[in-house]
Structure 1
């Protein structure tokens, strides 16, 4: 980015009230470690922190676990390379408390993973760890937010009253790849499985491969939910449901999914629904 473009960016960002609030919040911390998933929210938070504090005063921490989507780890690496921020990948196995995918899986997972990230941040000389939670996350079933609160992890977007639209607008002014800024909402692969059943890594890889197949076909907003061992229920955005039913497209999906070991392949006519495997009332 040349000097003139950088000055225009600074002028636009400094004139945005939500960006001003966020900048004050971050500068009051001095240094910041960001739990970087590779999705839009945490990527934009890291980019804005690097803009406000300087890249040398930021650290990106990414969890690499069997239930994480591999493409998001690659996205996290790309973001850090572009920003020049040091990136530490923390590898972990599936925590025993979530091995059977309990309804409060998200709470137990966040408690385990963010405790690990906090310790790594401290070891690296960073007192503050932040995540990309924002105000639009409040309307979803997210027991993991309670764990983040208990651990006193910072959620700058949430604390500054910033939601998805503002995050995307901010991301478009920062050095984050646009395909990451505008990427569909992501979630760990455990959200595709039924509660109360032992999590098998082989099934996680099958689900990831099935979703990769759909994305290659242009279905960018997709989920493959698994019922039992052999039934795959596909959720797509409403506009994509009709296209998936067209002859050649349907045949390609069926062939690919059967190669992955799914005997029954269904298309959810209700379309994509965030958290559709959650158990209500938990």
Structure 2
């Protein structure tokens, strides 16, 4: 599958890659560099309060390791009232800002093709941002070639990418219930809460924000550990402004804030 991906990329000539430091976009970036050479590839990292500083730092370090030209593009989605309103289509307004900034940068540099890292499984959840991708002509080679998440990790490992097994990440706004206004201050609180738990040794988690309540999601295997470290977890989250701390016994799952939407449509 790697060779099919590289062959597809060769057809494009020059590309800009919507890069986040996650395994999907890193695979697209690495394959682009291998197929086209660094002179024909640029990684574009969108930077806003919805991107944790730790994710930004890791993405920058990995791009340097790969020898990829990289540009950081500030995006203004958090200042958009439509984004702040946090309706179920919030992701559309986010991706519209992000992909528009990437498209404008690419076109100024004479680059026609902008690629993202969407894989073939990313359409299984609620994804309003895909409409923005279509409108702005963003290409998704992993999706088009049928790469599952397992295929992505296998290919990334084969290419020696250090983040081949990195847990999936999502923007900080995905921790906020629909209808709760998204602000930079709220995103900062969530970022600090999750960073405090990473410092306790947890590798994969989400702190879902419910006003004064922090609902912690960790993988099922980490539930006993979270209970064992209960006092430290509670202290860490209270230090970031939460009054109440809950542990979600359903464990970590991607897009859990969308469950309410699926229940309403059932």
| TM surpasses 0.5 | yes
Counterpart secondary structure, 1:34: strand
CA contact (8 A) 2:15 2:115 kept: yes
In structure 2, the partner of 1:163 is: 148
In structure 2, the partner of 1:143 is: 128
Counterpart secondary structure, 2:12: coil
Counterpart secondary structure, 1:126: coil
Whole-angstrom distance in 1 between the partners of 2:20 and 2:44: 8
Q: Post-superposition shift, 1:32? A: 0.8
Alignment of 1:91-106 (within 5 A): 91-93=74-76, 94=78, 95-106=80-91
CA contact (8 A) 2:75 2:97 kept: no
Counterpart secondary structure, 1:141: coil
Whole-angstrom distance in 2 between the partners of 1:225 and 1:97: 21
- Structure 1: which 4+ aligned runs deviate by more than 3 Å? none
CA contact (8 A) 1:233 1:267 kept: yes
Q: Post-superposition shift, 1:274? A: 1.1
In structure 1, the partner of 2:179 is: 196
- Write out per-residue CA displacement over residues 172-206 of structure 1, whole angstroms, 9 at most, x where no aligned residue: 23353x2x221111100101012122222222111
In structure 1, the partner of 2:238 is: 258
Q: Are positions 1:280 and 2:265 aligned together?
A: no
Alignment of 1:55-204 (within 5 A): 55-93=38-76, 94=78, 95-176=80-161, 178=162, 180-204=163-187
Q: Post-superposition shift, 1:154? A: 0.5
- Give the one of 218, 221, 224 matched to 2:201: 218
Whole-angstrom distance in 2 between the partners of 1:107 and 1:251: 39
- Give the one of 19, 23, 47 matched to 2:6: 23
In structure 1, the partner of 2:250 is: 270
Whole-angstrom distance in 2 between the partners of 1:240 and 1:85: 35
Whole-angstrom distance in 2 between the partners of 1:71 and 1:155: 26
Q: Post-superposition shift, 1:218? A: 2.5
- Write out per-residue CA displacement over residues 16-65 of structure 1, whole angstroms, 9 at most, x where no aligned residue: xx122211210000111000011111011101110111111100001101
Query: Unaligned regions of 5+ residues in structure 2, if any?
Result: none
Whole-angstrom distance in 1 between the partners of 2:2 and 2:152: 9
Q: Post-superposition shift, 1:99? A: 1.2
Whole-angstrom distance in 2 between the partners of 1:234 and 1:161: 33
- Give the one of 215, 218, 233 matched to 1:233: 215
In structure 1, the partner of 2:225 is: 243
Query: Unaligned regions of 5+ residues in structure 1, if any?
Result: 1-17
Q: Post-superposition shift, 1:216? A: 2.3
In structure 2, the partner of 1:4 is: none
In structure 2, the partner of 1:39 is: 22
Q: How many pairs align?
A: 260
